[in-house]
């Protein structure tokens, strides 16, 4: 058995077993630290330890029957330990602790840890500083306030002194618009850790955040966790729930680690995506459990304006050993992807009762920089995913989403607003109890999908499957047990692709230039 260190902070560490299974380990295991048992009956490939000492080297052993593995690791150094309770906190879940928590965070010297003990602390927006760690003790809850008037507004645009460069701070669905600050914010900061066994509960279900969710009131809805122009940020271990809108939303940041979070939003909560990196580079999403009211993980890079002005793709993303449950899509790209998305690898993930598994969504109007390329999707298990694979270039989002310009299946002139999809590779995937369709691939007639390659893929339909719409586009009739539908694709390669329980023709192709199967 091989075990690897994923990330270590001053007082916690995250580890990963190297197995071939999706999310869960082959068998329960025990963890010993310096020869003493600290974790028994662990079941997931990714696990964490807490209450460690700073700057100390430990020996870790993992044992599952006769199989075992070990390693040595060292926690980070710590300059100061800042107990936030000394700043005047009141742990009654009612009193406003925003100023006291912010005082602790702002006062922490570089290299220090801000420790929040057990208790429920109501708070509004908090802003973290560079070179600090926020540690939430088990039994600690940061509870979001419900009055939107108490949240600061992040302006969409900040003018620059040279009158040429603007800074886009507040963001809403891919555009620079005035938005409320998140509950936890990391802006222009680096080397920041948020860790521990505590809970960050935005408490949005107790306020008016879900009423008329597409309506701007004072400003657009906040996210639970938000970064902008940050570097080396890690969010690890904590429970995250009841977000206002998108839950984890790093933007224009690099070196982002999202590790073994437990994210839970109500299934009917509007637009509460789980993890949405936007125009970020070098992102690791490892060991997370996500159960939300919209897409579980969505990779984005803004709408047309930001795609043209900033042209910053979301790139070099690793998603591994995650459980994605009940969302609209498991792994989603788009639809705000005008800066492009590239070099994405998804492995060893379990998708459970999501509407779609791999979901790519874009549309005319996203722009010539809206290029998706280098997506590898392998070693994934899908259980009762209604449609395992959807690639849709007619996504009917935005006010003009159902217009002839977006929805026409006639070839339109290529222009600066036409998106492009490159190569997508899917291999070693098992999907059981699918319902609507196995694969739905819809490219643009003037800009077909370049290549779809599937290898060692098995899709089985539920015997009692119901009918529904596989792709969110106009004139997509409800379907049931549809095997593979493809239109406007330059090249499709199917290697050992097995489909069971489908109805009608196995392959329904329109304008597919090259096809190979073995």
**Virtual CA dihedral for 226, 232, 237, 238, nearest 10 degrees?**
-30
Q: Within 10 Å of residue 183's Cβ, how many Cβ atoms?
A: 27
In the set 7, 291, 328, 433, the catalytic residue is 328
**294 tagged catalytic:** yes
In the set 205, 273, 294, 352, the catalytic residue is 294
**Intra-chain end-to-end CA distance of the chain, in Å:** 35
The pair of three-digit structure tokens given for residue 61, joined into one six-digit string:
């052993």
The pair of three-digit structure tokens given for residue 349, joined into one six-digit string:
């993930």
Angle at 432 between CA 429 and CA 438, to 5 degrees: 75
Q: Within 10 Å of residue 161's Cβ, how many Cβ atoms?
A: 6
For residue 398, the SS3 value is coil
Distance CA 90, CA 97 (A): 7
Is the Cβ–Cβ distance between 2 and 64 less than 8 Å? no
Find the DSSP H helices in 235-314: 304-309
Half-sphere CA count of 173, side-chain side, radius 13 A: 14
The bridge status of strand 254-259 relative to strand 239-241 is unpaired
What 8-state DSSP symbol labels residue 205?
G
Distance CA 265, CA 335 (A): 21
Distance CA 262, CA 26 (A): 21
Distance CA 135, CA 306 (A): 35
105 backbone dihedrals φ, ψ, rounded to 5°: -65, -40
489 alpha-carbon distance from chain centroid: 27
Distance CA 302, CA 228 (A): 13
**Virtual CA dihedral for 456, 457, 463, 464, nearest 10 degrees?**
170
What 8-state DSSP symbol labels residue 305?
H
The residues carrying an active-site annotation are 294, 328
């Amino acid at each position: 058995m091989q075990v690897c260190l994923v990330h270590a902070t001053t007082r916690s560490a995250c580890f990963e077993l190297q197995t071939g299974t999706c999310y869960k380990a082959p068998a329960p295991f025990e963890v010993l630290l310096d020869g003493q048992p600290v974790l028994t009956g662990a079941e997931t490939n990714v696990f964490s330890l807490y209450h460690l000492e700073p700057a100390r080297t430990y020996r870790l052993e993992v044992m599952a029957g006769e199989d075992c593995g070990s390693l040595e690791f060292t926690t980070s150094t710590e300059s100061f330990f800042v107990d936030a309770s000394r700043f005047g906190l009141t742990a009654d879940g009612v009193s406003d602790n925003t100023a006291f928590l912010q005082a602790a965070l702002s006062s922490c010297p570089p290299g220090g840890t801000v420790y929040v003990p057990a208790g429920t602390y109501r708070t509004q927006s908090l802003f973290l500083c560079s070179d600090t760690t926020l540690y939430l003790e088990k039994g600690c809850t940061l509870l979001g306030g419900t009055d939107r008037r108490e949240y600061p507004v992040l302006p969409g645009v900040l003018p620059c002194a040279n009158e040429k460069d603007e800074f886009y701070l507040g963001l809403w669905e891919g555009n620079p618009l005035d938005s409320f600050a998140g509950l936890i914010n990391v802006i222009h900061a680096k080397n920041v850790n948020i860790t521990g066994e505590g809970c960050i509960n935005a408490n949005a279900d107790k306020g008016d955040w879900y009423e008329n969710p597409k309506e701007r009131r004072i400003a657009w809805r906040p996210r639970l966790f938000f970064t902008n122009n940050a570097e080396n940020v890690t969010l690890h271990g904590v429970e995250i729930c009841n977000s206002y809108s998108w839950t984890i939303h790093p933007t224009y940041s690099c070196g982002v680690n999202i590790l073994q979070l437990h994210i839970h939003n109500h299934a009917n909560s509007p637009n509460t995506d789980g993890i949405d990196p936007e125009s970020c580079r070098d992102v690791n999403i490892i060991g997370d459990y996500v159960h939300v009211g919209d897409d579980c993980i969505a990779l984005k890079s803004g709408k047309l304006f930001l795609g043209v002005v900033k042209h910053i793709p979301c790139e070099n993303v690793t998603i591994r050993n995650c459980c994605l449950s009940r969302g609209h899509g498991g792994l989603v790209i788009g639809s705000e992807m005008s800066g492009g998305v590239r070099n994405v690898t998804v492995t060893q993930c379990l998708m459970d009762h999501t509407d779609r598994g791999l979901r790519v969504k874009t549309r005319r109007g996203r722009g010539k920089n809206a290029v998706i390329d280098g997506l590898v999707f392998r070693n994934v298990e899908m259980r009762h995913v209604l449609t395992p694979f959807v690639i849709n270039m007619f996504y009917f989002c935005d006010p003009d989403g159902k217009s002839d310009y977006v929805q026409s299946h006639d070839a339109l002139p290529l222009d600066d607003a036409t998106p492009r999809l490159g190569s997508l590779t899917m291999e070693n995937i098992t999907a059981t109890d699918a319902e609507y369709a196995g694969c739905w691939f819809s490219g643009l007639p003037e800009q077909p999908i370049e290549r779809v390659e599937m290898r060692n893929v098995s899709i089985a339909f539920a015997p009692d499957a119901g009918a529904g719409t596989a792709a969110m586009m106009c004139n997509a009739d409800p379907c049931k047990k549809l095997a593979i539908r493809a239109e406007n694709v330059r090249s499709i390669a199917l290697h050992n692709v097995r489909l069971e329980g489908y109805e009608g023709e196995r392959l329904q192709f329109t304008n597919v230039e090259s096809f190979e199967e073995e």
